[in-house]
Structure 1
Amino acid sequence: METDSSLLSSELDLQQQEQLYQQLLLQTMEKNASEVPPESKVIRPQPGFCVKTLTMPDKQKMFVNICQSAAVPPPPHLSREALVELLESEDPSGYRVPMSLGEPHTELDNSSQGCTVYDVVISEEFFQKCLKDTLFQQFLIAVSLEGLENKYNLELSRDCKVLKNRKFMGSVNEQNIRTKSRPVIQEIDPKDNTTLAPAKRPEFCLLVEPPVGDPEFLIAEIQLAGVASSHALILDLGEDRLVLNARPSLYHLDCFMPFFIDQEGSVAQYNTNTQILTVTMPVVSS
């Protein structure tokens, strides 16, 4: 992945940053002036299959409903041969599956015992592919568990089981495919410098503009509490990847985008007042 150091503005005027950010948003909103875009889009996913696993290290029972929806875009085409090669390379992170990860909900299992359930929604097209090929199904389960671990700070067992004759556990809830959560900003004690702790994964949200129709921009808003200046940040953008480091070993973020982006046309601004890094990335049309 090539590094483009010019993407990260250094000590730009805050007002100029805000104007540029708003200008990019207005470009998409003007094209949808006749239709007021919703703050979020609620989808009703269709059941698919249910996976049983355990939380670690307490080994509590947990279920994952793998669901499908036409509202979720399919991933880039990947042949079975390419998937085998990808898995053999031990770096399956190079292929990303767009998915919506729902909030946990409590249900009753077959023994009438309470259990935690998560709903994962993927595209109908990719779901059908996973039904026809167990290798794709196993890959989907693996990336779903990884996504839940990253989003909800979990550790899940990979010794999981697909339940027979059961499409879902409990109920399949409606999902908001554009949830903008309120990240918790943690205070950092500057006096505690005796031992450098491992870099933390910052709270962030990824927005799509416009929220309906063909995407034109991806906007990442990253909370960086304790970072006083953009000079402490190193931002690298790949065609579908964002890597951010905040020195010295304060934050580290490595995430993949659901779409390919225009690296040269991307703009990043750091607001020292709110301590939020905003990265606006044009989507490359397919």
Structure 2
Amino acid sequence: MSGGKSVFLDVDSTILEKRLLMEDNDDDFDFLNPSSEKDVCPWKLVTPKPGLCVKTRNLSTGEKVFINVCTTGGIPDPEDISEAALVQILSSDDPTTFRVPMSINEPYEHPDKSGKPSTVYDVAISTNFFTKMNSSDIFRPFVIQVIMDGLQSKYDISLESEEYSVLKNRKAMGALRPHRVQQREVDSRAREPLIQEVYPPVRSPAPAPCREPRYSLVRSSRCLLADFRVDDVVSSRDLTLDVGEDRIILEGKKAGYLLDIFVPYCLDQDKTSARFNTDTKTLHVKMPIVSRSQQNT
């Protein structure tokens, strides 16, 4: 879906940048001294869930850029206002009275559908606010525009912010990273930043050696059927399955299983179903295939 600037978004870019409720931290996080002045405010790691994925490009390099707008309950909601109130605020003398709390992670590289390198940014917002903005033709383009302006300001890049698209069959590009969010009391009247961005990126401990489960893939007329044999898994609760547009990731941390494969089909992740047979220790997955006419260009 293409996105363009609507009338209510045609405002000075500096106004949009000020609406980002986040904090730039140009100092390295001190892992050796967690009680240092740089980390006075308590924080916690939150792992967001996929929301939507915006595809655009870097105007300087021509490289594809993907923005994962993800959700978490660890970030506070902005002020609850109506669409009409948002339009009125943007037209007022002080449009910065409405701000969107968000957390921006460090960029990382991930191949696009054709295998070419692209840059991915994870931006987390409140789960409740995402639900509200994603169903609104006014809030959704507004928030996407604010996020793009924030990325351009923070990383000194130039993004195509008018001719972008929201992927129809993929909610996230790559694996979402944890966010380090400061725990501060939210004051809607406060002017100082309330959200701590991840800077530098949080590094997880090196994973233990993993093994691939035995598996088979069979295409029927409209679906891709997969069987994954995981002999050392007791319950489906010990498995994590992530089906993307053309990628399947299966992980069983306790048993040491990890499978990450690409498939030559466009999969409908929203309609994918899975069933774990405890007798045969096999995970059966049914993934509908999206026809070419339905694919997002």
The TM-score normalised by the length of structure 1 is 0.49
TM (norm. structure 2) is 0.48
